[in-house]
Amino acid sequence: MNEVRQYGGMGNEHGATSGMPLKKVVLASNNAGKLREFAALLGSAGIELIAQGELNVPEADEPHPTFVENALTKARHAAKLSGLPALADDSGLCVRALRGAPGVYSARFAQLAGGEKSDAANNARLVAELHGASDRRGYYYCVLALVRYADDPEPLIAEGRWHGEILDAPRGEHGFGYDPYFYLPSLNASAAELEPALKNASSHRAIALRHLLARLSEEA
Ligand code: IMP
């Protein structure tokens, strides 16, 4: 099958197949923070990361009910339009007492209940839905999908979970999204109270990325 990909033109323009080192990868996001975070870790593995916007790749829709389907859709879209291997992530907050909500709908949690699409509105809905709940456990989840070319039948998938508890009042000024309400008992701080470098090294994205790097080095 590898031969078919290499000689039959089914791989990307760099001929990348499973087991071949990746040199240049497009990130299926234009988020500057993610680019910095991912570029630092992938750079240590000799991989250069380029934001899809630099290649005029527009954002893909995220229509699926699972994180992994959305990440794969974004990665395939970026690989198809750029002709490069592509990496995408999808993430969200999963709260046990809410049976995993807001989950894949984290960015639109308030909007789905008729509110506005903002962090403040999302957090207000989260706190309201957890009012009086004794089980405050939740975790941030991140899945990464890396495809060597658009139709890659063997995408690399890696996931990370960052466990914490949901506060009923905000703490801290850093971060974004649900961070002021996401408390980490082991650090005695909310995610918004952590220095950005510490959050970036500990988060669900960092955990998933380390798993992805381990998969890549297994393949090399
Ligand atoms: P995306 O996968 O980057 O689009 O993230 C989806 C949504 O999940 C964000 O809009 C946030 O609401 C939430 N989220 C994901 N990661 C984080 C995080 O590190 N801190 C706070 N909120 C997050």
Question: What pTM did the predictor assign?
Answer: 0.90
Cα-to-centroid distance, 22 and ligand 1 (Å): 27
Average pLDDT over residues 1-21: 46
Helix (H, G, I), strand (E, B) or coil at 96: helix
d(C-alpha 89, C-alpha 204), whole Å: 11
Cα distance between residue 155 and residue 203, in whole Å: 23
Structural domain total, the chain:
1
Q: What is the pLDDT of residue 16?
A: 58
Mean pLDDT of 30-39: 86
Are the C-beta atoms of residues 121 and 99 closer than 8 Å to each other? Answer: no
SS3 state at 216: helix
Q: What is the CATH classification number for the domain harbouring 115? A: 3.90.950.10
Catalytic, out of 89, 90, 152, 179 = 90
User: Cis ω on the peptide bond leading into residue 155 (within 30° of 0)?
Assistant: no
**Quick one: DSSP state of residue 194?**
S
Buried b (16+ CB within 10 A) or exposed e, 129-165: bbeeeeebebbbbbbbbbbbbbebeebbbbbbebebb
Q: Give the Cα separation of 29 and 58 in Å (integer).
A: 9
User: 91 C-alpha to center of ligand 1: Å?
Assistant: 6
Q: What DSSP string describes 138-170?
A: EEEEEEEEEESSTT-SS-EEEEEEEEEEE-SS-
pLDDT tens digits along 156-192: 999 999 999 999 999 999 999 999 999 999 999 999 9
Statement: residue 10 has pLDDT above 90: no
Cβ-Cβ contacts under 8 Å for 107 (sequence gap 6 or more): 92, 117, 122, 177
Residue nearest to atom 11 of ligand 1 (CA): 177
- Summarised one tens digit per residue, pLDDT across range 51-63 is 999 999 999 999 9
- Confidence band, pLDDT 50/70/90 cuts, at residue 33: confident
What is the pLDDT confidence band of residue 4, given thresholds at 50, 70 and 90? very low
Known catalytic residue: 90?
yes
Q: Pick the atom of ligand 1 nearest to 90's CA.
A: 2
Q: Name the amino acid, one letter, at 92.
A: G
Q: What tokens were used for 101?
A: 């909500």
Residues of the domain holding 189 = 2-219
Give me the mean pLDDT over the 84-111 stretch.
97
Residue 217 has what pLDDT? 84
